[in-house]
Structure 1
């Protein structure tokens, strides 16, 4: 290559680099005022944005190396705008020192969680509040985003976790955890921490509910839907902390034949009658004499709490009682059959026989004592030939 060609190439390269730097350093969005402060740091002051894309005149977020990538911006002020961040701005402002978001309409969603990485750069964060969705209306942005992050990081795999209620004082935050129809065979072990949980585990293949009793995370689950699973027993919940504090338990459509009525009666006795509910229909309930004499009074006494009491029926294998509403089954028809009468008669005869045996033994002992003392035989013996 000739010396002239090399010189031309060098000049072209230098000119290109100069144009790149000049283009980058002079770029300013049409909707912003751009200037250098007293420290010669670049400030973008932008108002009335309808989308973040307006920071680039073509509406496209720049890629690394683009002339319009504002890596020289140290202070970004976005005011009086409606901000629904669809993309993380952090990579596009790598040298940012301060970010101001005052007087904006801010949609707090998981797409904005990246803002937590700029919490130390955010100006007056205590004055920046969510305006949507309604769940977060009035909540400080950083608090809302931290909640979203914490809940998402401990959401059971494949489930959907959403913040359902967030008071302004951050007390009694409620999270909805939906694990409906996911083919689960076990109750999940990990749950969001430090929040009240409403959980839906319906339409799975769960058989064992002991996780509710032994996992402390479930002490915060107050509403639990377990409808249409394969649960045969809930005796593992007796005397557990969980059963003492639930407000709604749905057990519809399982394989339950009986439940610990005494334990539940104790719970209902201490619970606010308006604060606890159960759903028990579509189970193959036993209706034999022993079971129904406990279960029927239980559901009759607590029919205000068992919301589907009119659909709680005897199982298909309960003979003449099959399909009958348990609340309406006549105990006489279950407990006083002919077979039971025969058993009762035998019991009476056995008692009479036992009494006669005791009388006979007593008489023999008395006669023996009298004979030893007086030498006289009993009266009946003296009459024998």
Structure 2
């Protein structure tokens, strides 16, 4: 019986060798679902090509299964190996007689947690596919000098493996659907660690964000590799001297990157002339900026947050007509030199989510401020949290505490004197009309001219009248 089994296997092996060709591709993965009807650990020659072996449902000891299944052709002919549905947690790729000539190794759809390529000399391995496992660790691949494709997708890896060979051309790597850390991935992108890697499927390669960064106001939880590469480029190419470019948030639907710029303590005399694309937040606090004229620059059109506290700004009139004043979410102008506040550029309503800070500016207070600005601060207290810290120059105290009845009592002015003069003239005119009327009445009755008229010298017209 044993002899018949051997003959059958040899006939089958000969049939396979005759009817299938060698694999030409450097990556091999048997897509014919060869393990569907296999219920026990087993290795056999692939029906796709004659120099490829497929193993199903292995528990351990690969060599044992290869020998037991009578795959006795020369080991130099095993160039492609695909292990499916394995039950082992650890796999060691060594230079054993069965594996030393491998061009492609695929261990997929199993329970693999660790992969240890123990190679002591250069390996001919060109393709390594470890997708759809539970990998948390991949050892050094520095001796895989011919590696061209590395598929680590759908695992639990926190980072890209260390010691990837510096090959040319670059290695195509797919590390989508893992548990990557954005911090680790970002460090690798900034350094030369990944310079020889071409990332496949970048839009579905996500990394996990740490929640302890204050810049993540709208915390998305994860970030795509495409967005992270943009972030790395943005931070590297921040063209504003003494400033740091960062990220505010990412729209996960389109990977649109909203950036931030921090120019605090940068010794600026004016606002930066050019902001990065989609700049959401600008911090220019603790500088020597005296004007907000640059706010009308088109690169400020996306800006929603401006922190300009502790500067030398004297007026906010430059904000009028800008896109920023219509769309802002936060504006901090505390501790400046603003002496007057025009309220009409600002539009607040019950639905608005805006935050305006004006504290520790000292205003020139008059009757108009006591009536208009005080009421404006009171009505918009939801948006102006520091209304109690807006002061008047001198000893008048807080703007919010001004008493209009006190400040609106006017001292005599030139206008008041003009009113008095007009009143006096009206009175004199009334007296003059009354005197002329009286004189006319006396002259009519007695024919006697009053004393002022009788003493007046005669004019030429009087002689003519006589």
TM-score tier (shorter): 0.5 to 0.7
Query: Using CA pairs below 8 Å that are at least 6 residues apart, which structure has the higher relative contact order?
Result: 1
Counterpart contact for 1:88–1:112, Cα < 8 Å: no
User: In 2, distance between residues paired with 1:330 and 1:346?
Assistant: 27
Indicate whether 1:352 and 2:423 are aligned.
yes
Aligned to 1:161: 245
User: Tell me, which stretches of 5 or more residues in structure 1 are unaligned?
Assistant: 1-29, 57-67, 368-375
Indicate whether 1:244 and 2:244 are aligned.
no
Aligned to 1:295: 373
Question: What per-residue deviation string (whole Å, max 9, x for no partner) do you get for residues 80-105 of structure 1?
Answer: 3524359895x713234532224422
Counterpart mapping for 1:54-133 below 5 A: 54-56=140-142, 68=143, 70-79=144-153, 80-84=155-159, 92-108=166-182, 109-113=185-189, 121-133=198-210
DSSP 3-state at the match of 2:152: strand
DSSP 3-state at the match of 1:261: coil
User: Tell me, which stretches of 5 or more residues in structure 2 are unaligned?
Assistant: 1-90, 106-123, 212-218, 438-442, 455-466
User: In 1, distance between residues paired with 2:92 and 2:431?
Assistant: 115
User: In 2, distance between residues paired with 1:221 and 1:381?
Assistant: 91
Between Structure 1 and Structure 2, the one with more strand by share is 2
Counterpart contact for 1:130–1:136, Cα < 8 Å: no
Aligned to 2:307: 225
Q: 1:240 to 1:124 in 2, by over 3 A?
A: closer
Counterpart mapping for 1:1-385 below 5 A: 32=93, 35-37=102-104, 42-45=126-129, 48=135, 50=137, 54-56=140-142, 68=143, 70-79=144-153, 80-84=155-159, 92-108=166-182, 109-113=185-189, 121-133=198-210, 137-150=221-234, 152-154=236-238, 156-170=240-254, 173-193=257-277, 195-213=278-296, 215-264=297-346, 267-268=347-348, 273-315=351-393, 318=394, 320-321=395-396, 324-336=397-409, 340-341=411-412, 345-353=416-424, 355=426, 383=450, 384-385=453-454
Q: 1:32 to 1:197 in 2, by over 3 A?
A: farther
Between Structure 1 and Structure 2, the one with more helix by share is 1
Bigger drift between 42-51 and 282-291 goes to 42-51
User: In 2, distance between residues paired with 1:294 and 1:285?
Assistant: 13
DSSP 3-state at the match of 1:163: strand
The alignment's C-alpha RMSD in Å is: 4.0
Count of residues in correspondence between the two structures: 317
Question: What per-residue deviation string (whole Å, max 9, x for no partner) do you get for residues 254-292 of structure 1?
Answer: 00100222333xx33xx5553222111111211133544
Q: What's the offset of the Cα at 1:169?
A: 1.1
Q: What's the offset of the Cα at 1:310?
A: 1.1
TM-score (norm 2): 0.57
Q: What's the offset of the Cα at 1:357?
A: 7.7
